[in-house]
Amino acid sequence: MGQSVVLIAPRRFGKTSLLLEMLSRKKVQGSFTVFVDFFSTPDLLSLAAEITTQALVNKKWSWTVYQLKTQIFELLRNFQFRQTVDQYEFIVGFGQQNPDEWELLAESIRFIEKFSQNHGQAMVGGFDEFGDNKKRFISSP
């Protein structure tokens, strides 16, 4: 329904456990899910790649996910990544010399919605450790 929920509590209160349980239940109910732990993404490029990877995992494209997870930086350095997924083609300009990381992030977020729409399934996303990212990512406009 396009709603967002923010859960705020002190450390060690079970926020992540609650989030993972909710995503697990939604998956059992047939929804696609995306889970991204912001602490595991050191920069915007990694964040964009992780969001896209997590969306793809829902259809078990293991080769594509493997390539994104284990070889992403090599791929990104050498060429523009282009992949067709069930009649949906997305182009992410990771391979550019000086990529616009904010645009790549926006494209990855748009991909979540388009992927969900193309497969006719609801998508529920969980973003963990979101609060401290202003310090890490907000260094450019």
Domains in the chain: boundaries: 41-136
Asked whether the beta carbons of 92 and 68 are under 8 A apart, the reply is: no
1-50 pLDDT tens trace: 567 888 888 888 999 999 999 999 999 999 999 999 988 888 888 888 88
Burial 42-57 (b: 16+ CB within 10 A, else e): eebbbbbbbbbbbbbb
61-108 pLDDT tens trace: 655 655 555 555 555 555 444 444 444 444 445 555 667 788 888 888
pTM above threshold 0.85: no
User: Smallest Cα–Cα separation from 119: which of 61, 67, 38?
Assistant: 61
